[in-house]
């Protein structure tokens, strides 16, 4: 992965060339309607978006190495969230009749991350390292926010009486959007403030017994030399150069995806899976690499952090866009998906209830992930 991502400019250049080519050929008489041409164009856009996203994650990791935890993990998760929001909003604007795209994408991210990536990571890590240790306080903090946000935004709308079909009223949408933003903001405030030591390797956080949380956070800050601001700025510009073409290619990619799903009569939730793969594939590979290096705390920070940012950022943005455009946004999941989501959250709580993991937990998570894939294609 890192050999491909090492030269981020290749993915960024390919994406920018594609953007220019699509812009130039927009008004020309090009046979875009040919099925083979559309399929080839979708395949190319899919590869280019992942390539550029891979470069974005690589650049985000470069910036992360210049700053300390938990800021480094925050850079990675926010870069993924920005990409996801852009793709979801583009899909919503392309097909205004598909009111479930945001829900399907967020649900798919939760299932892919909490079952697919976590399960595979624990299986690989357990095979190589037998048992792996992580910071229990950090994982518990993530889940304590992910669980209520998942229930309120993806389950509760199915059972509300003021609106039907899994939607929310205007008052409910505003209140839930503000509540989600405030809760996510509170988590970030504590993550980068007084509870920094919850999100670092337990061996590092506990190396000085008896140290107070405040002084431990200060030790984390003082153990790392100051970083030149110029390097961080340059890294941020390079990161933006990889993310911006993804935003510009999101609309044509969403258009082709919508056309392909309709033409092939594929269930709509599969579109959410495609977007989730586009968003999380590069960072998922980074998570698995961290697991193989026995850096389970970092892997958990990235995976659970991406899950939390998916809910904390995407939900408010989608709800507010729905209010301003008058478009119905269906967030409530169907019964089968609610069962799988509840199973996943309970399983994640059990998995991260003790500071060690084994291959067994990984196998169970993967079993739930297989059930999710089967039901996505055959509801």
pLDDT at 133: 67
Distance CA 64, CA 67 (A): 5
pLDDT at 228: 66
Question: Is residue 139 over pLDDT 70?
Answer: yes
pLDDT at 64: 67
Q: State which CATH number among 3.90.1150.10, 1.20.1420.30, 3.40.50.620, 4.10.95.10 fits the domain covering 2-377.
A: 1.20.1420.30
| Of 2 and 349, more confident | 349
pLDDT confidence tier of residue 5, bands split at 50, 70 and 90: very low
| Of 10 and 111, more confident | 111
Q: What is the pLDDT of residues 98-115, one digit of tens each?
A: 678 888 888 998 999 999
Q: What is the 3-state secondary structure (H, E, C) of the chain?
A: CHHHHHCHHHHHHHHHHHHHHHHHCCCCCCCCCCHHHHHHHHHHHHHHHHHHHHHHHHHHHHHHHHCCCCHHHHHHHHHHHHHHHHHHHHHHHHCCCCCCHHHHHHHHHHHHHHHHHHHHHHHHHHHHHCCEECCHHHHHHHHHHHHHHHHHHHHHHHCCCCCCCCCCCHHHHHHHHHHHHHHHHHHHHHHCCCCHHHHCCHHHHCCCCCCCHHHHHHHHHHCCCCCCHHHHHHHHHHHHHHHHHHHHHHHHHHHHHHHHHHHHCCCCHHHHHHHHHHHHHHHHHHHHHHHHCCCHHHHHHHHHHHHHHHHHHHHHHHHHHHHHHCCCCCCCCCHHHHHHHHHHHHHHHHHCCCCEECHHHHHHHHHHHHHHHHHHHCC
For range 299-328, the mean pLDDT = 87
Backbone angles phi, psi at 224, to 5 degrees: -115, 130
Distance CA 312, CA 305 (A): 10
Burial 317-332 (b: 16+ CB within 10 A, else e): bbbbbbeeeeeebbbb
Query: Residues in the chain, how many?
Result: 379
Question: Is residue 305 over pLDDT 90?
Answer: no
pLDDT confidence tier of residue 67, bands split at 50, 70 and 90: low
**C-alpha radius of gyration, the chain, whole number:** 21
Least-confidence region, from 195-204, 246-255, 256-265: 195-204
Burial 240-259 (b: 16+ CB within 10 A, else e): ebbbbbbbbbbbbbbbbbbb
Distance CA 226, CA 224 (A): 7
Q: What is the pLDDT of residues 192-219, one digit of tens each?
A: 777 777 777 766 545 434 444 444 444 4
For range 322-342, the mean pLDDT = 91
pLDDT confidence tier of residue 255, bands split at 50, 70 and 90: confident
pLDDT at 16: 84
pTM of the model: 0.79
Contacts 24+ apart (CB under 8 A), 341-348: 341/107, 341/110, 341/111, 341/150, 341/154, 341/155, 342/155, 343/368, 344/110, 344/111, 344/114, 344/115, 344/368, 345/114, 345/143, 345/146, 345/147, 345/150, 347/115, 348/114, 348/118, 348/143, 348/146
Question: Is residue 157 over pLDDT 60?
Answer: yes
Beta pairing class for 132-133 and 356-357: antiparallel
Least-confidence region, from 26-30, 76-80, 358-362: 26-30
pLDDT at 203: 62
Q: What is the pLDDT of residues 165-192, one digit of tens each?
A: 888 999 999 999 999 999 999 998 888 7
Least-confidence region, from 26-40, 55-69, 148-162, 319-333: 26-40
List all residues 6 or more positions away from 145 whose beta carbon is below 8 Å from its beta carbon. Answer: 183, 184, 187, 308, 312
pLDDT at 222: 45
Question: Is residue 268 over pLDDT 70?
Answer: yes
For range 77-95, the mean pLDDT = 74
Q: What is the pLDDT of residues 16-34, one digit of tens each?
A: 888 888 777 664 455 556 6
| Of 375 and 208, more confident | 375
Average pLDDT, the chain: 78
Distance CA 68, CA 237 (A): 19
Name the residue ranges covered by the structural domains of the chain: 2-377
Question: Is residue 246 over pLDDT 70?
Answer: yes
pLDDT at 345: 95
């Amino acid at each position: 992965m890192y050999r491909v991502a090492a030269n981020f400019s290749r993915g960024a250049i390919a994406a920018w060339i594609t953007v220019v080519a699509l812009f130039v050929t927009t008004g020309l008489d090009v046979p875009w309607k040919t099925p083979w041409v559309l399929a080839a164009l979708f395949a190319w856009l899919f590869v280019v978006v992942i390539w550029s996203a891979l470069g974005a994650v690589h650049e985000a990791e470069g910036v992360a190495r210049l700053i300390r935890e938990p800021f480094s993990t925050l850079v990675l998760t926010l870069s993924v969230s920005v990409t996801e929001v852009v793709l979801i909003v583009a899909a919503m604007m392309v097909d205004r009749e598909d009111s479930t795209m945001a829900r399907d994408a967020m649900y798919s991210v939760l299932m892919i991350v909490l079952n697919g990536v976590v399960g595979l990571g624990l299986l690989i890590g357990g095979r190589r390292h037998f048992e792996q240790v992580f910071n229990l306080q950090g994982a518990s903090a993530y889940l304590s926010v992910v669980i209520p946000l998942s229930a309120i935004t993806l389950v509760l709308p199915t059972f509300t009486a003021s609106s039907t079909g899994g939607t929310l009223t205007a008052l409910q949408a505003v209140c839930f959007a503000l509540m989600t933003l405030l809760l996510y903001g509170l988590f970030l405030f504590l993550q980068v403030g007084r509870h920094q030591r919850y999100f670092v390797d337990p061996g590092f956080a506990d190396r000085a017994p008896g140290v107070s949380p405040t002084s431990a956070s200060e030790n984390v800050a003082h153990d790392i030399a100051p970083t030149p601001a110029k390097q961080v700025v340059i890294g941020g510009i390079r990161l933006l150069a990889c993310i911006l073409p993804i935003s510009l290619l999101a609309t044509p990619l969403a258009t082709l995806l919508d056309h392909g799903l309709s033409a092939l009569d594929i269930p709509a939730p599969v579109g959410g899976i495609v977007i989730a793969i586009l968003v999380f594939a590069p960072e998922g590979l980074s998570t698995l690499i961290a697991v193989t290096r026995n850096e389970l705390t970092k892997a958990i920070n990235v995976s659970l952090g991406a899950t939390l940012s998916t809910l904390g950022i995407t939900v408010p943005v989608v709800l507010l866009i729905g209010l301003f455009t008058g478009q119905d946004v269906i967030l409530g999941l169907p019964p089968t998906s609610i069962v799988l989501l509840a199973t996943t959250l309970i399983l994640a709580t059990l998995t991260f209830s003790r500071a060690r993991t084994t291959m067994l937990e990984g196998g169970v998570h993967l079993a739930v992930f297989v059930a999710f894939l089967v039901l996505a294609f055959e509801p």
